[in-house]
Structure 1
Amino acid sequence: MADKPHRTLQREFITSEGVDLRLTLASAGERAGAFLIDAAIIFGAFIALVLLTALIMAGRATGSEYLFSIVLLVFFFLRSGYFVAFELGSRAATPGKRAMRLRVVARDGGRLSGEAVVARNALREIEVGIPFLFLLGNAFSSDGSDTWTNYAALAWVALFTFFPLFNRDRMRVGDLIAGTWVVRTPRRKLGVSVVHAHVEPSFVFTEEQLAAYGEFELQKLEEVLRREDELSLIVVAQAIQRRIGWTGGGDDMEFLQAYYAALCQRLERNMLFGKRRANKYEQA
């Protein structure tokens, strides 16, 4: 029974290589936890910025209003750029999401585009950022503020904050517009050197299986192994297994390390005899 909530969040995810990863969507609680971690980091940086500004302006009678405006502008780019920069990285996740073992993916199974990342995070400003700053400004206003306007801003924030609870895919409005999901990433022990990786003896490949790829694919495989991106490892492993007809099973990371080592040995051995294969399209 404990697994039932997890099963309800599982979704078919067909990659461009035709591999079904069967991803599990992040729960609303996991997403909230990731956001709180990221918010703490952003506000910590903002407080440091404010303290630095206060030190710079200490003893100065003029120019403080301009510097304060600059601080607010920097804060806007900080909170917006923070999410975009991290989600455009190879892990497609902010530090908060990485701590909660989450990442962003495109719902259509394709590559996560920069446009989608920018769109989903631009919507966050409309969902939460602008109303929050409005409320904060009214709280420190000396001439009073319209109570009903504050209530409207609070209702706006609450509507978008709890939106993931009212759709089966736990999406923010930003995810809905950008065509993205936030999903759990597989737990995996990484950090193994590509060159010195221990190869399990259970992985034995035939000459035909090794002949499926050449030097170009070997380099790309090494890039995937060094980058240590969980979803890329799964996709590449299953794509190679399908191409070479592998039925031996095994852990994806261990399979790729074993295939990489065996392919290295084959290509080096062939080069000694003057045989060289640049890529999978050349004859072996």
Structure 2
Amino acid sequence: MKEKELSRLIHVAQLYYEQNKTQSEIANELAISRPAVSYLLNKARKAGIVKIDVLSYYRTIRGLGNELCDRFNLKSCHVVSLPEDLYQTGAEVLLEFLPKAKLLGLGWGYNTNKVISALPQQKRGGISVGIICPLIGAITAPQQGYHPDELVKELADKTGYHGEYLNCPAISATAEEQLEVMESEDFKQVEDYWRRLTTAFITLGSYPSVPDHGSAMRFGKKLIDEKAVGCLLSYFFNPQGKQIRSDEDYSIQIPLDLLARVRDVIGFVPQEANVFSVISGLKTGYIKHLVITEALASDVIKQMDEQKNV
């Protein structure tokens, strides 16, 4: 095919497929007949200039979401095409649950902070009012988003909800320090809310992570030896979604048996998440609703299929 003819086929194909012009509009623009346009488009397809890919159902946004729901027993899955829309979608999902969330438990992390920042200020009386409480104590580190009491306050200010606070570190150095915190009035009040939570919002994290959640002090080499990959709050899990335990772990966080009783746990998957950490987090069974990018959703399904075929 001569270069001039190739250029003409490319030009006609671009007008039709990229600029969405009709065949009649192209015919008028190029001063040729409409059947001639149809002929050129057909020739472009045969020459391989135009390739039409009809997506299988599971590769569509809805298909990916339904596939993840089926595989991990989720109630809903929000698959985001554009990564730059991820935080906004997370905020919209959170806002969707707020009116029916009489008690909302809030996780921590940089990404949780970004979701709250994307949430628009609500008009007073615009949504029903409930209580927001942290699901874990704070880490004394400069990383933004790891002071859950501050996240609770910001979300309460934006929504009109009442905030309750733990006022304690997430990681106690000893069993005595942990017991002292658990005997405080702040902890007992939040613990009572944990028992009655209807909704929770948490980020699916990974191991290793930043900050490292005092993992060396709490677990020694157990996280490495038992192949930790996933993290929810400050609990760590192996590739099968099984919790990795340690007798030296004195952390302050919602017990997993209480998290398992929460009706609607929204799991937010950061764009940079490792596919194995996502699978681990979903296999725990705590997540009921998911927000995830299209690319990661596809990778999760692909990896699950590969594991099945091994």
The interval holding the TM-score normalised by the smaller chain is under 0.3
Alignment TM-score, normalising by the size of structure 2:
0.22
Which structure dedicates a bigger proportion of its chain to strand?
Answer: 2
Which structure dedicates a bigger proportion of its chain to helix?
Answer: 1
